[in-house]
Amino acid sequence: MLTDKRILLIIAGGIAAFKSLDLIRRLRERGALVTPVLTRSAEEFVTPLSVSSLAGEKVYRDLFDLTDEAEMGHIQLSRSADLIVVAPATADLMAKMANGLANDLASTLLLATDTPVLIAPAMNVRMWEHPATQRNLTTLQGDGIGVVGPNEGDMACGEYGPGRMSEPLEIVSEIESAMRVGALSGQRVLVTSGPTHEPIDPVRYIANRSSGAQGSAIAEALVEQGAEVIFVTGPADAARPNGVHLVEVETAQEMMQAVQGTLPVDAAVFSAAVADWRVASASESKIKKTKDGLPVLSFAENPDILATVSQMKSGRPKLVIGFAAETDDVIENATSKRLRKGCDWIVANDVSPETGIMGGSENAVTLISDDGAESWPRMGKAEVACQLAERIAKALQ
């Protein structure tokens, strides 16, 4: 239920605006209070009268409406809600948000707010796939903005593909999870994820098979529990989690620097598969084949991020969690790794190829702490993430 939760609903100008009428109805059925804001182009698709009738509230339309400024300034309006929802979010409005433009009421509210924001993009498939929109999307996700959809399907313009706005009930369910005051609300949690790439030369690198799936799932589960999550990821295949502060890096050294930039945090989960070594002096130009023989790579050790943070003398997170991906003597190796690195918990797993865990959708982990080793049954990575997030919430209480 969303009883007495105030939602500022910004409707931008797209054909999907008609679905926002149903969204208002669904939100009100659940007890939410909806303050609608219409952009000028939205008024071409839905009328202010139909929106205000369904919302049972005044529609805000113009930045320079002096009555509104006297009643409630745009700054106050932008902060009076529990959540701002932009549905539909057009390519244009996403571009304005990503670049901090504020030239109408909707974009000004979005720039002035300190309230969480959820957007439901809707646009033509080519516009959605355009590198500019994808760049803006990455920026917005990095700013901690939640995104629901778009869905794939037939579009009003006759094309097929991703770009349709999510259905009102899908948006409602995202709103409900965004509003959940979880056990971790008020806690700042760092998650590292994915592999790192260590360059050999400008075109070649050393990598590993981590997909980043477990790290993304953990970040999402922590967001679900209400944590503020800073997600530092290497070049992973897995989709980036919603609702996190996203920091993308490539090498272990960059990851170390990014992690240091996020401190202090209440808890840190190091699920990244960080390369232990880098090429000591990566070549600045492409290494060519020669008749003189094979190239010889010499290695340098990368900083151990988990050990560095675990052994901090001041400002150490209250809870530091490492991962141990092992192929032999899993529990024994992971137990000594915990002591060696100085972290509080180690989540150990067997990544031998026959387990299908590395790059797969399931995981079978053993949680190692001061209390000993506790093996969990094999389950989906999302389920492992939920259980771990619950444990973290309990430990931080």
- Contact set with ligand CTP (CB under 6 A): 192, 252, 270, 272, 274, 276, 302, 304-306, 322-325, 337
Q: Which two tokens stand for residue 92?
A: 């244009």
Place of tokens 């113009």: 62
Shortest distance, position 380 Cβ to ligand CTP, whole Å = 21
Question: What sign does the CA torsion over 375, 378, 380, 383 have?
Answer: negative
Which of residues 124 and 271 has its CB atom nearest to ligand CTP in the complex? Answer: 271
Which DSSP string do the residues of 91-153 spell out, in sequence order? Answer: HHHHHHHHHT---SHHHHHHHH--S-EEEEE---HHHHHSHHHHHHHHHHHHTT-EE--PEEE
Amino acid sitting at position 320: V
142 phi and psi angles, rounded to 5 deg: -65, -25
Which of residues 10 and 218 has its CB atom nearest to ligand CTP in the complex? Answer: 218
Q: Which two tokens stand for residue 253?
A: 């050294």
Which of residues 35 and 211 has its CB atom nearest to ligand CTP in the complex? Answer: 211
C-alpha closest to that of 272 among 222, 316, 211? 211
Which of residues 88 and 194 has its CB atom nearest to ligand CTP in the complex? Answer: 194
Shortest distance, position 280 Cβ to ligand CTP, whole Å = 15
Shortest distance, position 252 Cβ to ligand CTP, whole Å = 5
Q: Are 78 and 52 in contact (CB under 8 A)?
A: no
Shortest distance, position 396 Cβ to ligand CTP, whole Å = 19
Shortest distance, position 219 Cβ to ligand CTP, whole Å = 14
Which DSSP string do the residues of 8-29 spell out, in sequence order? Answer: EEEE-SSTTHHHHHHHHHHHHH
* Distance in Å from the first CA to the final CA of the chain: 25
Which of residues 154 and 329 has its CB atom nearest to ligand CTP in the complex? Answer: 329
H-helix or E-strand containing 321?
strand 319-326
Which of residues 256 and 386 has its CB atom nearest to ligand CTP in the complex? Answer: 256
Shortest distance, position 303 Cβ to ligand CTP, whole Å = 6
Integer Cα distance of 92 and 90 in angstroms: 5
Q: Are 245 and 145 in contact (CB under 8 A)?
A: no
Catalytic residues: 157
